[in-house]
Amino acid sequence: MLGCMTHHTARHVARPIEPAVLKELRDTDDAGAARTPYTDTEGGAPLRCCLRSSRAGERITLVTYAPLRRWAAENWAKPGAYDEQGPVFIHADVCEGPAEDATGYPFARPGALRTVRRYDSEGRIVGGRLLEIPEAADEGFDEAFAEAFADPEVVLVHVRAVEYGCFHFEVHR
């Protein structure tokens, strides 16, 4: 199905923003702002719609996204003060989603710092850890996710960049 592909590894699935949500964000983002598309002249922006970096010449837009709020609404959870929103890059127009043959975790640059934040069924933070992505990036993420899901309370994990706090992707139990 177009736009619903995900990155697969041996243990976990990195999930992109769902196509229906992307459609909403392309009109009005989670902060209520209209989008402002532009042509990316350099490339390299982490696209959450297809879980890859942008290429020079692509039309993209930066929108405000509240992933926990949207997950909570679907799961009748009440994250309260743990709800947050932040900037994410997406294609300005509908895209193909992640490549069908995509493997490994997206945006997994060795040496980069990520927060692996854990949430319970109410959408409350129940822990997390800092991950410096190792050379064997997939193994590093797999270890962090195995540690997170070893706690039976954890139902959802968000991966965020430390530098800007940007949401990168989520993994479900």
pLDDT value at position 3? Answer: 39
Check if the beta carbon of residue 14 is closer than 8 Å to that of residue 61: no
Within a domain: 98: no
> Which residues form the domain of 158?
113-172
Cα-Cα-Cα-Cα dihedral sign, residues 46, 50, 51, 57: negative
* Average confidence (pLDDT) over 141-158: 96
Domain count across the chain: 2
122 and 73 fall within a common domain: no
What does the pLDDT look like over 50-108, one tens digit per residue?
A: 999 999 999 999 999 999 999 999 999 999 888 889 999 999 999 999 998 888 899 99
Q: For residue 128, what pLDDT is reported?
A: 95
For the full predicted model, state whether its pTM sits above 0.85. yes
Length, in residues, of the chain: 173
Q: Evaluate whether residue 107 is within a structural domain.
A: no
Domain assignment present for residue 2? The answer is: no
Q: Which residues touch 21 (CB under 8 Å, ≥6 apart)?
A: 70
Amino acid at position 79, single letter: P
